Structures are given as C-alpha cells and as structure tokens.
Amino acid sequence: MTEKRLGMLIDLSLCIGCNACAVACKQENGVPLTKFNTWVESWDVNTGEQTRRANQPKLCNHCADAPCVKVCPTGASFRTEEGVVLVDEEKCIGCKYCMAACPFQARWVNDDTGEVGKCTFCYHRSSHGLLPACVSTCVTRARYFGDLNDPKSDIAKKVAEVGGEALYADLGLDPAVLYVGLSQVEGMPVTSAIHRGGNVVKPLEG
Ligand code: SF4
Ligand code: SF4
Ligand code: SF4
C-alpha cells in the first residue's frame, strides 16, 4: 500500500487576502502575536490598464527532503509517517539551525520559551481525519487538504484535474504544499514586510 502523504493545495485565483486563515491558525494553535504558522503576502500587479491585488498564502511546505530535519542536532525536528514535519518541544534546544536551513522562512522562535514553532498541518486535527483550521476557515475554499497519495481524496482529484506547482521547486525539496496558478503570478515578493518582522532568524544576543 502507498504511504500516506498529507498535503495542501492552494488556488491563488480564489485567495482574496482576507487573512482569516492566519487568524484561525493563531487561535487554533496558540501562535504568539508577532509569529506566523501561515501568512498571506499581498502586492499590486499593474497591467497598464488596471491594477489588481495578488495574494499568496504561505506556510511550512512539509518537505519530503526537509533540510530543517537534516540539520537538527537533537532529532527534535522530524517527519511523521504521514509526511508531516513537526518539532518535539521536549527535544528542542533553541539552536535555530532549522530556521537558518529553511528556505521558506516557515519557522519562528518563541521569544519567551526559546522553542521553535511552525505549521504542524494541525496534526492534532489532521491525524484524526479533521481538516486544519486554516482550511476549514477559508472563506473562498482556496485551500484543499488531504492525502496526496490517495487518488480518491479531494486534493488528489483536484491536483489530477488542474495540476499543482511547488514554490521554489528547483530546490528539489519535494514540498507537500502546492499552488494553482503559481507560474501566472507576477511581481511576487521574496518576503513581505510583516513576515520579515516575524519569522526571521535573529542573531544570538551576548
Ligand atoms: Fe486566502 Fe482563504 Fe486565507 Fe482568506 S482565508 S486569505 S481566502 S487562503
Ligand atoms: Fe522544514 Fe522549511 Fe521545508 Fe517546513 S518548509 S519542512 S520548515 S525546510
Ligand atoms: Fe496553521 Fe494548521 Fe493551517 Fe498549519 S495547517 S497553517 S498549523 S491552521
């Protein structure tokens, strides 16, 4: 039997940049105010005749070949049997190697406890067959979630129907977060201002 691979597909044509997903995630997972498991980058695209708003939600990509897992010196960062990348708080020593290794800036450090956090694919829900908070909250149903390896799942059917593109696919990390319409997006920023103030690796003090 094929191994389960939980994943997410985000249709960029449906995202309106309302940030309800980011708020729902914070509520569900107790993410500190200035840190983000998921965030939405928004920018203007000027076609000459009109200006429209482009939006791209981002989160941990739950990479199959995850550099954050490889560099973690204590085994705190690991992949579950469903392909979800998690952090074992008991084992995390706050060295931030994983944050530096992640090309997506998907991880953050808790300034109070020193532990590193990130999107868990709402494992406390998804491991029991429930949808993640960001998916069930999305007002336009831009996010699909489920087993990418199960041809009968909604997400696998959608990927088969319309395709799915990974962010920074050329890195070869095999992300489990895919987008519809990624290559059509123009002027995508590397990171947004709000995100730069949140999940970046800060130098050690002292
Ligand atoms: Fe986009 Fe849905 Fe998030 Fe709103 S809730 S920003 S529509 S992904
Ligand atoms: Fe690790 Fe970053 Fe990939 Fe998530 S997106 S699995 S934190 S390297
Ligand atoms: Fe947050 Fe859960 Fe969505 Fe990940 S899957 S961004 S933890 S709500």
pLDDT in tens, 171-188: 999 999 999 998 877 766
Counting ligands in written order, which one lies closest to the CA of residue 179?
1
Q: Is 132 in the pocket of ligand 3 (CB under 6 A)?
A: yes
Counting ligands in written order, which one lies closest to the CA of residue 86?
2
* Dist. CA 139 → ligand 1 center (Å): 6
The CATH classification of domain 6-201, taken from the options 2.60.40.1930, 3.40.50.1970, 2.30.40.10, 3.30.70.20: 3.30.70.20
User: Mind listing the pLDDT tens digit of every residue in the chain (206 residues)?
Assistant: 689 999 999 999 999 999 999 999 999 999 999 999 999 998 888 878 888 889 999 999 999 999 999 999 999 999 999 999 999 999 999 999 999 999 999 999 999 999 999 999 999 999 999 999 999 999 999 999 999 999 999 999 999 999 999 999 999 999 999 999 988 777 665 554 444 445 554 444 44
> Does an H or E element contain 145, and which?
strand 143-147
Q: Is 202 strand, coil or helix?
A: coil
* Dist. CA 99 → ligand 1 center (Å): 25
- Other residues' Cβ atoms within 10 Å of the Cβ of residue 3: 9
> pTM for the complete prediction?
0.90
- The tens digit of pLDDT for each residue in 95-110 reads 999 999 999 999 999 9
pLDDT recorded at residue 131:
98
- Other residues' Cβ atoms within 10 Å of the Cβ of residue 162: 12
Q: Whose CA is nearest to atom 5 of ligand 1?
A: 138
Phi, psi of 196 (to 5 degrees): -60, -30
Could you tell me the maximum CA-CA distance found in the chain, to the nearest angstrom?
Answer: 55
Taking the domains of the chain in order of start, what are their residue ranges? 6-201
- Other residues' Cβ atoms within 10 Å of the Cβ of residue 74: 12
Q: Is 138 in the pocket of ligand 1 (CB under 6 A)?
A: yes
